[in-house]
Structure 1
Amino acid sequence: MTIGSTYDYPAHLAKQLPTHDRLSWRGRFPSPPDLCFNYRKLVEQAFGIAKATRPDYKICIIGAGVTGLTAARELLRCGFNNVTLVEQSHRIGGRHLSVLNAGQSLLLGQTPFEMGAMRMPMFNRADESPLEGQSLLAYYCKLFDLRLSDFPNPGTPHVRSTGIYLREGLLEGQPESQMLIWNNPDGHTPPPTEELQQMYSKWRQFADQMSRQVAQVYGTPQWESMWAAIVARYHRLSFRDLVTLTSLVWRADTPGDFGGLGMSQEESTLFYSIGIGDGSWGAFYDVCCLYPLRTAIFGFSSQLQLVHGRVDSNGSPMPSPYLGEPILKDCNGLAFAPPRYLGLAALDECLLFMETGVNGQSFYDHCRQRGEGFLTDSSVTRLTKLDNGQIRVTYDWNVSSPSTKSERHDDFDAVIMTLPSWIIETHIQLENFSQAMLPYTITNAYKTAHWETSCKVYAPLKKSFLTKNKKIPQIMVTDSFIHDVYTYRYHDAYPYDCILLSYTCEDDATKLASFDDQALVKKCVAEIDRILLRCANIKTPISPYIAVQNALVQRWMTDKNALGCAKLYRAGAYYDAVSLMQYNRDYAHVSGLYLSGESFSVDAGWTEPCLRGAIDAVIHLCNTTQATFNGGFTLDDYPRYQGPPPQPNQQQTTGQPETYYCRW
């Protein structure tokens, strides 16, 4: 749910770098830039991150998305046996939403519709398996035997062809409409037409130069100062500004300045609409340019993977806990969705149901044995800091049933908050947290964060489309309201493939909000047919291949459990976002509140920052409770996030408690 263009150059550069010091806790390029740390090395130790010295320390995790599930699993591995996970909905996984046909057998494989995150970077070098990438996602995918394949991104060798439709097919001034066809079997073929090639060249010149320089410094003692210089240069610029900023040759005396893409206004207009032929970048034109930069340069766009699930070579789910169960119950007897182990949601299901190495139990089994610790259909409404240092968590139990809903509460030593920040603001009241515990700067940072809208329209696709069709491109990128169209296959044995009829973000998604789901599906299919029939080199509709009656629409902004698909930050707001990532180290030991997940990261729309945020919370909880870290790790090995330079005459915060009222 973010810029998903493929840019493999960082992964190829990494092959040429010196061998990574396996004794070091430092990260390896490519990896996220702000905290140069090898989380995988810490987590993949046989006994986890640490050994708890206060195993009964009472911890509440709010939200059973991938962040909350990861934190719960790793806390149990550390020996914390008094953890409660609270989820508002009837399913786990949050914005990992792999939708399946409920009418098919629970034991058979089928094509999932990835209504949320769908393409996964593993941060592996070009010469190693994705499962060996130095990332938490690669670690968990390997641990849980999740099957991967190259994601069919536009303009890559992993698709048969990419169709480009711009300006009603008249981009080159030809007398009749044409679908431009981009075939790139070797991964080095530029897009068609001189205009697109010029844009492609300018993008590659900028990105390649920056990648080469940061790759040499990443992981060294000089990295933090170089990244600080890059942030200082670019944090006030939008991506729109960067696209037209003059290009330049990097100089060592100004290490943070790489110039811009140097595009003309005309080129910028095209780039907005269709990228370099790989899909629109326009949804991100007005966010801080550091976001698309970090997405491209630091591995988020390299060697993207499609997660098939915990399946065998035949595409069938492997024997796994609770597979085939029609229904499961939480610790209060409320039903929630059982695991199917298909698609990306298999990751979340494995985090909850696969054994942890602690008494052969999963977190779910541990909670069942305790008779408490896992709640669904329970909406947290208030956090109150008590005089004894604990936090009271008040929640509505059985919230989906107005007739039986009831308010309940429990007191905890620590709370890990993983919810989207707009849900925190509009649903949860925070009481009696002093400024020394929760400064206004922190609450303001998450309240003013920008949440991205997104709309996806999926439908089943007849197998004959990818098997027999030779005319219609496998992927299409357009400047029409549908924007990007994907068709792809998980397995030959599955009864149908899938088509993502439309994938839009920001304004492009908002403009579709007035159409109901059925009307939008019909409108998307009709528009794709119109485009294809208009193009003289296609003249073939796609609608005969699509099972329109089984199409699904997902709009994340109106999903009451999300209120947006990804947290972004505008130009000038980068340090606000970083302050949220600093919170656990600076304040959590005082407040007992730990902020974790994508809401409190700067890498919107990706799974890796969710996993890293979960581990960050566990690290600081272990430190607060004097747990014994494994592998010789200490908090001195853990880097600090770099905030803005201190401002003169900053007001001192007071210790007076405040109540934050969060209203609709």
Structure 2
Amino acid sequence: MTIGSTHNHPAHLAIEPSAPSLPWAARYPNPPDLCFDYRRLISQAGGIARATQPDHRICIIGAGVTGLTVARELLRCGFTHITLIEQSQRIGGRHLTVVNTLGDHKHPTTPFEMGAMRMPFFNRTGEAPKDGCSLMAYYASLFELRLSDFPNPGTPWVNATGIYLREGQLDGKGEPTLLLWRNPEGLTPPPTLTLQRVYNKWRRFAEQFAAQVAAHYGTREWESMWSAIVERYHRLSFRDLVQLPALENWSPERPEDFGGLGMNSDESAIFYAIGIGDGSWGAFYDVCCLYPLRTAIFGFSSHLQLVHGRVDESGIPYAAPYLGAGRLPDSKGLMFQGPSYLGLASMDDCLLFMEVGIQGTSLYDHLIQRPNGLLTNSSVCGLHKLPDGRIRVEYHWQQSNPEHSQRLDDEFDSVILTTPSWLIETQIQISGFNREILPQPIIDAWKHAHWETSCKVYAPLKKSFLDSNLTLPQILVTDSFVHDVYAYRYNESYPDDCILLSYTWEDDATKLGALSDGELAHKCIKELDRILLRCSNMGEAISPYIDTRNICIQRWMTDRNALGCAKLYRAGTYYDAVRLMKYNRDLSAASGLYLAGESFSVDAGWTEPCLRTAVDTVINLCDRTAATFNGGFTLEHYPHYQVR
């Protein structure tokens, strides 16, 4: 969190709903669409359902966390004819944990999280993260993942947060200074009256909004209230909301209206740089304001966790299937990256390689028994609806090696798309689906989706920086091109800590596109030294603490397996995103095509919506195939997405 919220808002709210909660409703805080307890459904001993058509042929495109979750939960339900196709030679998608190759599983080194890195578990204050009401909490508990509080700016989990705005002269006078924010109890406001004024305007708005949401969430009134809130705000950008006049008092006669933040242009410019929750918000200032509202009001910013992996207290991985194997064969003998069980990618490793609970087998062991169960290095290029209702999937096998690549195909009863939507448009030809089962507005919604780029620059950090440095702060928030800097430790036993030298999004990441990796790394370190040496209260460079030999850089927009880091939506396009989420419920039974993953959600950049859309797919596919749901659940208990 930076200026806009405390580390536990709104998870600390002790507000019970004003009316009884609906059966199967989630509790607050949790995402507003859908208000449903996915963890309760999936944590049943028998999983979601029992398949009555186990031989139903299913193809899942993409082995990121969404595809792996769909495959695992379908296997738990008893579906046995599953094909998982992955374009790259690793699993996990935008869960990309890079481990220094100098280490091994017995002597690991500090991992770098080049993709998603801080996880909300939707736990309330005073509740352990793994007890949270979320799918992330369920899997973290199931797989025994080790966690710690993520060192976000302005939280108790950092020794200090340095704030460098307007060249160290925030108020336009005095010597250049790095503002230091120490917040050991989570109650200290940011330094200077200027920052506190901005902070208080956000806090007042957010607390009033959250208090009313908490009182209605999960009740019979919630769907209509959220629908009205969406209608009130979906045409506004976040920039508009920031400068919209504040509402003195919320009125039950207009429950959807919470006004705006009421900031002037100067306050807005500061807010642009320092953000509301987890770093600079400038890159998101022109997205639909519902995105930051969802992020800050519904638990995505509360008690964020760093995932160490499936490791012991010394950071060494527990014994696990295929640990140390290096590379493993898929169903056709092509080799792909084996599991390390470190960092966030340990979750993906566990989904594929840990026992599913059916006759002691794992998803991987089940898939490779069939010649087309698990296909890596295979790029799907066509989906064709056939007259008999099946879907023919065409793919380039061994796509990274044009000399040996082959165009192959297979036919399936159901196909599940989990890839980033730009990959669909640029790589997959879709034909044979009439407009009744694949309407043009659905196609337009994924074709017109806005994908953000992101650039991360990581380096090993000497232990002495956090152990004996008495001057430099652990976290730095700036309006310079580096923007957000994070230094943190996974484990005392690892030889190094790590530093995220620069974390940028959208235009701020695009600015860096012309620089080579070497140039960018050098420029980031040089800029950080410049900032720290310029400030009269610092006068010390950070470069002596950084190992420049092992810098790692990830640019998501040019990653051919992603073409972007997170899907967002502009003002006025929120309903397009919701229509994509509704597709499985409304039309997949007829089309045989299912949409899952962040491409078909409204919560960009987070793992929980990927998991939720995965389970949504399993629910609807089970319903289509007349599976028997467990725990007394029926689709009558499953809420509908609201679109006006």
TM-score normalized with structure 2 length? 0.98
8 Å CA contact retained: 1:3, 1:295: no
Please state how far the C-alpha of 1:23 moved relative to its aligned partner: 9.0
1:172 counterpart = 2:171:
yes
Please state how far the C-alpha of 1:276 moved relative to its aligned partner: 6.2
Structure 2 residue identity aligned to 1:237: L
1:232 counterpart = 2:197:
no
8 Å CA contact retained: 1:422, 1:447: yes
Please state how far the C-alpha of 1:281 moved relative to its aligned partner: 1.1
Q: Pairwise mapping of residues 416-565 of structure 1 onto structure 2 (< 5 A)? A: 416-565=416-565
Aligned equivalent of 2:90: 91
Measured against aligned partners, the alpha-carbon deviations of 1:573-594 in whole angstroms (never above 9, x if no partner) come to 0000000000001110000000
Cα distance in 2 for residues equivalent to 1:76 and 1:280: 41
Q: Pairwise mapping of residues 193-204 of structure 1 onto structure 2 (< 5 A)? A: 193-204=192-203
Structure 1 residue identity aligned to 2:163: I
Cα distance in 2 for residues equivalent to 1:131 and 1:296: 20
8 Å CA contact retained: 1:50, 1:627: yes
8 Å CA contact retained: 2:99, 2:110: yes
Alignment partner of 1:605: what SS? coil
Cα distance in 2 for residues equivalent to 1:225 and 1:19: 15
Cα distance in 2 for residues equivalent to 1:515 and 1:330: 36
Aligned equivalent of 2:216: 217
Cα distance in 2 for residues equivalent to 1:161 and 1:396: 51
Structure 1 residue identity aligned to 2:88: S
Aligned equivalent of 2:587: 587
Measured against aligned partners, the alpha-carbon deviations of 1:200-237 in whole angstroms (never above 9, x if no partner) come to 00000000000000000000000001101100100000
Q: Alpha carbons of 1:43 and 1:111: their partners in 2 closer, same or farther (altered >3 Å)?
A: same
8 Å CA contact retained: 1:164, 1:277: no
Cα distance in 1 for residues equivalent to 2:348 and 2:499: 24
Aligned equivalent of 2:632: 632
8 Å CA contact retained: 1:199, 1:267: yes
Aligned equivalent of 1:412: 412
Aligned equivalent of 1:134: 133
Aligned equivalent of 2:142: 143
Cα distance in 1 for residues equivalent to 2:277 and 2:400: 45
Aligned equivalent of 2:156: 157
Query: Could you list the runs of 5+ residues in structure 2 that have no partner in the other structure?
Result: none
8 Å CA contact retained: 1:5, 1:279: no
Aligned equivalent of 1:121: 120
Aligned equivalent of 1:243: 242
8 Å CA contact retained: 1:3, 1:281: no
Structure 2 residue identity aligned to 1:100: V
Q: Pairwise mapping of residues 291-330 of structure 1 onto structure 2 (< 5 A)? A: 291-330=291-330
Q: Alpha carbons of 1:521 and 1:256: their partners in 2 closer, same or farther (altered >3 Å)?
A: same
8 Å CA contact retained: 2:118, 2:150: yes
Aligned equivalent of 1:256: 256
Cα distance in 1 for residues equivalent to 2:10 and 2:478: 27
Aligned equivalent of 2:66: 67
Please state how far the C-alpha of 1:383 moved relative to its aligned partner: 0.2
Please state how far the C-alpha of 1:618 moved relative to its aligned partner: 0.4
Please state how far the C-alpha of 1:173 moved relative to its aligned partner: 3.4
CA RMSD of superposed structures (Å): 1.6
Q: Alpha carbons of 1:389 and 1:501: their partners in 2 closer, same or farther (altered >3 Å)?
A: same
Please state how far the C-alpha of 1:2 moved relative to its aligned partner: 13
Aligned equivalent of 1:359: 359
Aligned equivalent of 1:650: none
Q: Alpha carbons of 1:152 and 1:19: their partners in 2 closer, same or farther (altered >3 Å)?
A: farther
Cα distance in 2 for residues equivalent to 1:36 and 1:635: 14
Q: Alpha carbons of 1:147 and 1:278: their partners in 2 closer, same or farther (altered >3 Å)?
A: closer
Structure 1 residue identity aligned to 2:26: G
Q: Alpha carbons of 1:307 and 1:6: their partners in 2 closer, same or farther (altered >3 Å)?
A: farther
Cα distance in 1 for residues equivalent to 2:87 and 2:498: 30
8 Å CA contact retained: 1:2, 1:604: no
Question: How many residues are paired up?
Answer: 643
8 Å CA contact retained: 2:377, 2:397: yes
8 Å CA contact retained: 2:119, 2:304: yes
Cα distance in 2 for residues equivalent to 1:127 and 1:22: 22
Structure 1 residue identity aligned to 2:90: R
Structure 1 residue identity aligned to 2:275: G
Aligned equivalent of 2:191: 192
Measured against aligned partners, the alpha-carbon deviations of 1:171-212 in whole angstroms (never above 9, x if no partner) come to 133432110000001101110011100000000000000000
Structure 2 residue identity aligned to 1:140: Y
Please state how far the C-alpha of 1:7 moved relative to its aligned partner: 4.8
Cα distance in 2 for residues equivalent to 1:65 and 1:6: 31
Structure 2 residue identity aligned to 1:69: L
Aligned equivalent of 1:368: 368
Alignment partner of 1:323: what SS? coil
Q: Alpha carbons of 1:451 and 1:3: their partners in 2 closer, same or farther (altered >3 Å)?
A: farther
8 Å CA contact retained: 1:274, 1:477: yes
Cα distance in 2 for residues equivalent to 1:109 and 1:478: 32
8 Å CA contact retained: 2:2, 2:154: no
Please state how far the C-alpha of 1:327 moved relative to its aligned partner: 1.6
Cα distance in 2 for residues equivalent to 1:5 and 1:423: 35
Structure 2 residue identity aligned to 1:142: S
Aligned equivalent of 1:653: none
Please state how far the C-alpha of 1:16 moved relative to its aligned partner: 4.0
Structure 1 residue identity aligned to 2:525: V
8 Å CA contact retained: 2:63, 2:85: yes
Structure 2 residue identity aligned to 1:296: A
Query: Could you list the runs of 5+ residues in structure 1 that have no partner in the other structure?
Result: 645-664
Aligned equivalent of 1:32: 31
Measured against aligned partners, the alpha-carbon deviations of 1:125-159 in whole angstroms (never above 9, x if no partner) come to 10210000000000000000000000000000010
Alignment partner of 1:562: what SS? coil
Alignment partner of 1:434: what SS? coil
8 Å CA contact retained: 1:3, 1:292: no
Structure 2 residue identity aligned to 1:627: A
Alignment partner of 2:10: what SS? helix
Q: Alpha carbons of 1:217 and 1:21: their partners in 2 closer, same or farther (altered >3 Å)?
A: closer
Q: Alpha carbons of 1:321 and 1:342: their partners in 2 closer, same or farther (altered >3 Å)?
A: same
Aligned equivalent of 1:661: none
Please state how far the C-alpha of 1:17 moved relative to its aligned partner: 2.4
Please state how far the C-alpha of 1:438 moved relative to its aligned partner: 0.5
Aligned equivalent of 2:403: 403
Alignment partner of 1:382: what SS? strand
Aligned equivalent of 1:46: 45
Q: Alpha carbons of 1:333 and 1:102: their partners in 2 closer, same or farther (altered >3 Å)?
A: same
TM-score normalized with structure 1 length? 0.95
Alignment partner of 1:356: what SS? strand
Cα distance in 2 for residues equivalent to 1:2 and 1:204: 12
Structure 2 residue identity aligned to 1:351: L
Q: Alpha carbons of 1:406 and 1:449: their partners in 2 closer, same or farther (altered >3 Å)?
A: same
Task: Name the stretch that deviates more: 514-523 or 163-172.
Answer: 163-172
Aligned equivalent of 1:338: 338
Cα distance in 2 for residues equivalent to 1:225 and 1:345: 38
Cα distance in 2 for residues equivalent to 1:246 and 1:189: 27
Please state how far the C-alpha of 1:415 moved relative to its aligned partner: 0.2
8 Å CA contact retained: 1:279, 1:478: no
Q: Alpha carbons of 1:439 and 1:588: their partners in 2 closer, same or farther (altered >3 Å)?
A: same
Measured against aligned partners, the alpha-carbon deviations of 1:271-300 in whole angstroms (never above 9, x if no partner) come to 111236963211111000000000000000
Alignment partner of 1:369: what SS? coil
Cα distance in 1 for residues equivalent to 2:165 and 2:23: 49
8 Å CA contact retained: 1:54, 1:80: yes
Alignment partner of 1:153: what SS? coil
Cα distance in 1 for residues equivalent to 2:278 and 2:59: 43
Alignment partner of 1:272: what SS? helix
Alignment partner of 1:247: what SS? coil
Please state how far the C-alpha of 1:6 moved relative to its aligned partner: 5.4
Aligned equivalent of 1:647: none
Aligned equivalent of 1:109: 108
Measured against aligned partners, the alpha-carbon deviations of 1:610-654 in whole angstroms (never above 9, x if no partner) come to 00000000000000000000000001110110011xxxxxxxxxx
